[in-house]
Structure 1
Amino acid sequence: MSMWAPPRLLELAGQSLLRNEALAIAALEELPTELFPPLFTVAYAERRSKTLKAMVQSWPFACLPLGSLMKEWQPHQENFQAALNGLDVLLAQEVRPRRWKLQVLDLRKNAHRDFWTTWSGSRASVYSLMEPEATQPMKKKRRVDGCRMRGKQPLAPVEVLIDLCLKEGSRDKLLASLIEKVKQKKGLLHLCCKKLKIFSVPMQNIKMILKMVQLDSVQDLEVNCTWKLSTLGKFAPHLGQMGNLRRLLLSHIHMSSYTSLEQEEHCVSQFTSQFLSLHHLQELYLDSISFLKGRLNQVLRSLKSPLETLSITNCLLSESDLTHLSQCPNISQLKDLGLSGVNLTCVSFEPLQVLLERTSTTLQDLDLDECGIMDSQFTAILPALSHCSQLTTFSFCGNPISMAMLENLLLHTIGLSKLSHVMYPAPLESYEDVEGTLHLGRLAYLHAKLKQMLRDLGRPGMVWFSANPCPHCGDRTFYDPEPILCPCYMPA
């Protein structure tokens, strides 16, 4: 027989109080701290905008994690506006209310998710979640002369934390309301954005929104736009103001045929010079960047801190680019290296060998998919690869490799105790024709042979599986141990 858990006294008290909204608002000044989260949750669910507005003004914690509540109950415009109006009243007052402790309005949907759902009534557990230092690591503390503040100090601005995703055609009423409120408050509301994603949005719209954002709060930036190089040059000054950026992803930048060489160099310099201000950059992803060939050194020499992740995908690189990469001072601590889609068929593999040697004690993930690597080139890097003691995942799908080369690779990497996953291409012997049609029976046999070698060498737990693009549709056929086929291989 299942046991029914009766409502706790705190829940009953909150429900009873909200039956009379005017009484609830009047009682906020004397309301126990433990009642605020459950009362706020009920008020949000029932869209009690007057109560929400008043509770924001009396919120007894440093942070109000409204975003996780909006995710649970849907982001109603009325509720959101009520919270903003509560902030409005607070910031308009010259004297700080007695119970006002609010410093951060957190609108991120995945932040502080446990605050509302696991409320236990314990003050200690709530305060540990809502410490100001934990919620706003970028905020600078005001200087104090001794223990007293001299004269009347202006009220500290309230920080609004939000993750922004700017897309063309999307009409975000909540963001529009927030932007308007930030404009009105003129410095009393600081819009802070840890994660910023930009898709195909007119540059004037991007500039208008970023003008309202504290750009030094951005730590994770993704620019997934099909931009001309000149557009990137216009965006570059904003990038340079993101001094606390940890992760940068830049995708699909192309050069116009009408751009002169002088203009091209100017735009590239505008972009690369911004890296001089990014002292905390740890992860750099460059995908489909047309201006990179012959200029990778211009990017690398501007880096101010060691990278943990470097991913250069679907780009053209010269041999000198690879040489500069292998010599760069800030890549010796790489944990993740990706060169997927970079054609390495006609370049010397000595720079890649040097690069693997320099990162052998830190590299954990290596991606060399679709690089056009052949047996002779693979042979050149095997000794360096066998010394990558921290390697956990290695992927080199889409390269024309023979079965003999796969066996040689297995023998060279079997001693890497942390290597757990290897994603390899179907060996050349498993194809029926030059058009790339797989013979699944041969692939099954060769895969079983590799599996047996792993067992014989005492590493049955190391996972090897092949992933091969279909020549007709581009989808991959996986094999581990049975094939997961693309539609082209399915019976009619």
Structure 2
Amino acid sequence: MSIQTPPRLLDLAARSLLRIEASAIAALEYLPPELFPPLFMEAFYGNHRETLKAMVQAWPFVRLPLGGLMPKPHVGTLQAVLDGLDILLAQKDCPRRCKLQILDLRNTDQNFWRMWSGARAHVRSSSPLAPVAEDRSRTEQPLAPLELFIELHFTKRTMDEFLTYLIRWVEQRKESIHLCCKKLKIISMSKENIKNILSMVQLDCVQELEVNCTWQLSTLALHAPHLSKMRNVQRIFLSHVHVSPFEEQEQEQQHVAQFTSQFLRLHHLQDLRMESPSFLEGHLNQMLRCLKTPLQSLSITHCLLTEEDVMHLSQCPNIGQLHGLDLSGVMLTEFNLEPLRVLLEKVAATLQTLDLNLCGIRDSQLEAILPALSCCSELRSFSLCGNLLSMVVIERLLHHTDGLPVLDLELYPAPRESYSPHRVLHPERLAQLQAEVLKILRDLGRPRTIWLSSSPCPHCGNDTW
């Protein structure tokens, strides 16, 4: 026999009030602020659209976190709320009770609703009571422009019904609505739609930008001016930008300049990640010169760079405080790694993660950077997967990294001796070498997590100690 928790008197009162929707709407003028959230939830889940529309016009808090009530976008609810905003925006003077300034459509901050629903067990130590109290203490302020927060993730070439309706509504009210988006993610979308969306978003609100499309360099240059308006962006991820084989060198140079010059206006950028940026070869210094603040994380992967590019990287003044560096897939086989050694020495006091997977690094190159590597006292994760190194050098590597106090994850390739001259892996020989590595670790006497395998990806193997 199960015992169900009886409904609270507050919930019963809200349901009773909503049985006659006109009465509920009339009562809003006299309703204490504490009763608005539970009544709003009852109206939301009961699909009382007229009540929702009226409650928006009398909302007694600065912020309405609507997205916390609907993990999946719901057009009908959105229409009711936006209809209420339309009535509110049409009024010359802000109603006495209404303090609404922010409509938040992000699927975050469910704690606001949990608190008012009585589920206090879910409220974190940083209770939402504080922001609610702040809302109540605010004096009446002009409503317009109202801020509408949303996370924009474009994963299809066409927008769904919810986003289409919202964007059209905002477009018709540009003077009264600021569309704010802290996380902007573009996976697939037509150039025209991207242009239209970005023209409506308050770009200085964007803090994280991800563009994971297959673009030509000319397309990147076309949208580059929008980047300079994202003055508060902290993280940029850019993937698969290719140079057309038909593009002339002068035009390519112009397009690269159009993109890299935008970084001059980004004074809060901390994390820059670029995957397969084929246009960077020979142009890395052009971008590095435009960085205005020290980066915390830099990832340039799966592309070609020149030896001069790596040298410019080591000399860049805004790279000296890196916490993370990822050059996976950048072929370094023919390079003098002296610049990389200089870079590691420069970031030795801050570097926490270092990824040099699939870089074609040879024994002599790794030995050249080992002294600098052993100085990286904050290093927590180091990966060399996919490089062909001898057992002798791997043993030296283990001794150099043994003195790093916080290093807790090391990902290394199967030694070169595990392969035949034709690069065929011998599992028995690999097992013998793994046993040797295990003995070395026991002799060193410190517990360590090391992954050693022929797979270039640590998620494809399980050889760890």
Partner of 2:44: 44
Q: How does 1:237-256 map to 2 (within 5 A)?
A: 237-256=225-244
Alpha-carbon deviation of 1:313? 0.2
Contact 2:170/2:177 (CA < 8 Å) preserved in 1?
Answer: yes
1:307 aligns with 2:295: yes
The 3-state SS of whatever aligns with 1:245 is: coil
Structure 2 gaps of 5+ residues are: 121-125
Query: Of the candidates 183, 188, 199, which is equivalent to residue 200 of structure 1?
Result: 188
| Rounded Cα–Cα distance in structure 1 between residues aligned with 2:422 and 2:133 | 63
* Corresponding residue number in structure 1 for 2:282: 294
Once the two structures are aligned, what percentage of the paired residues are identical? 57
- Please give the per-residue CA displacement for 1:434-467, whole angstroms capped at 9, x wherever unaligned: 244x33333333333323333332321x210135
d(CA) in 2 for partners of 1:261 and 1:119?
62
- Look up the match of 2:333: 345
Tell me which of 162, 167, 175 is aligned to 1:174. 162
1:128 aligns with 2:130: yes
Q: Is the deviation greater in 153-162 or in 353-362?
A: 153-162
Deviation of 1:170 (Å)? 3.6
Question: Equivalents in 2 of 1:443, 1:19: separation in Å?
Answer: 74
Deviation of 1:481 after TM superposition, in Å, equals: 4.4
Aligned with 1:469: secondary structure?
A: coil
Give, in whole Å, the separation in 2 of the partners of 1:251 and 1:237: 18
Does residue 318 of the first structure (1) align with residue 306 of the second (2)? Answer: yes
Separation in structure 1 between the aligned mates of residue 439 and residue 89 of structure 2, nearest angstrom: 70
Task: Provide closer, same or farther for how the CA distance between residues 380 and 432 of structure 1 changes in structure 2, counting only shifts above 3 A.
Answer: same
Give how far 1:429 is off. 2.1
RMSD value, Cα: 2.5
Kindly tell me: are residues 126 and 332 of structure 1, through their superposed partners in 2, closer, same or farther at Cα, counting changes over 3 Å?
Answer: closer
**Alignment-derived partner of residue 468 in structure 1:** 454
What residue number does 1:17 align with?
Answer: 17
Where do 1:228-267 residues align within 5 Å? 228-267=216-255
The residue number in structure 2 matching 1:450 is 437
Residue type at the aligned position of 1:98: R
* Cα gap change, 1:161 to 1:181, in 2 (>3 Å): same
The corresponding residue for 1:281 is 269
Deviates more, 1:74-83 or 1:10-19: 10-19
Deviations 1:412-443 (A, max 9, x none): 0111110000011111222356244x333333
* 2-structure distance, mates of 1:475, 1:412: 22
Q: Which consecutive unaligned segments of at least 5 residues does structure 1 have?
A: 134-146, 483-492
- Residue matched to 1:114: 111
1:154, CA displacement in angstroms? 5.7
Distance 2:273 2:315 in 1: 19
Aligned match of 2:123: none
Question: What's the offset of the Cα at 1:156?
Answer: 3.1
Stretch deviating more after TM superposition (333-342 or 100-109): 100-109
Asked if 2 retains the 8 angstrom alpha-carbon contact of 1:112 and 1:129, the reply is: no
Is the CA contact (8 Å cut-off) linking 1:103 and 1:132 kept in structure 2? Answer: no
CA distance, structure 2, for counterparts of residue 65 and residue 24 of structure 1: 21
Counterpart Cα distance in 2 of 1:95 and 1:10: 32
Corresponding residue for 1:487? none
Amino acid in the other structure paired with 2:92: E
Deviation at 1:16, TM superposition (A): 2.0
Residue of structure 1 aligned with 2:73, choices 52, 72, 75: 75
- If the length of structure 2 is used for normalisation, what is the TM-score? 0.92
Q: Are 2:209 and 2:233, in contact at CA under 8 Å, matched by a contact in 1?
A: yes
Give 1:132 shift.
Answer: 7.4
Runs of 4 or more, structure 1, over 4 Å off, are 1-4, 124-127, 130-133
1:130 Cα deviation from its structure 2 partner:
4.5
Q: Could you list the per-position Cα deviations for residues 73-121 of structure 1 after superposition, in whole angstroms to 9, with x for gaps in the alignment?
A: x322111111111111111111111111111111111x21222234366
Report the CA distance between 1:475 and its aligned residue: 9.8
CA distance in 1, matches of 2:53, 2:210: 34
2:214–2:242 Cα contact (<8 Å) kept: yes
8 Å CA contact 1:63–1:132 kept in 2: the answer is no
Does the 8 Å CA contact 1:273/1:302 hold for their aligned counterparts? Answer: yes
Shift of 1:250: 1.1
Alignment match, 1:411: 399
Structure 1 residue aligned with 2:60:
60
User: Structure 1 length as normaliser, TM-score?
Assistant: 0.88
Where 1:362 maps in the other structure, the secondary structure is coil
Q: By how many angstroms is 1:334 displaced?
A: 0.2
By how many angstroms is 1:25 displaced? 1.3
> 1:480, CA displacement in angstroms?
2.9
Alpha-carbon shift at residue 282 of structure 1 (Å): 0.5
With over 3 angstroms needed to count, the CA separation of the structure-2 counterparts of 1:62 and 1:127, relative to structure 1, is: farther
Which residue identity lines up with residue 323 of structure 1 in the other structure?
A: M
Tell me, yes or no, if the aligned pair for 2:174 and 2:200 is still in contact at 8 Å. Answer: no
Contact 2:102 / 2:148 at 8 angstroms: preserved in 1? Answer: yes
Residues 61 and 127, structure 1, Cα contact 8 Å, conserved in 2: no
Q: Indicate the residue corresponding to 1:138 in structure 2.
A: none
Q: Deviations over 1:146-180 (max 9, x none)?
A: x9x9xxx9643110111111234343212112112
1:456 partner letter: D
Check the 8 A contact 2:320/2:347 in 1, yes or no. yes
Amino acid at match of 1:408: R
Q: 1:468 to 1:405 in 2, by over 3 A?
A: same
Task: Name the aligned partner's letter for residue 218 of structure 1.
Answer: V
- The corresponding residue for 2:257 is 269
- Which residue of structure 1 aligns with residue 152 of structure 2? 164
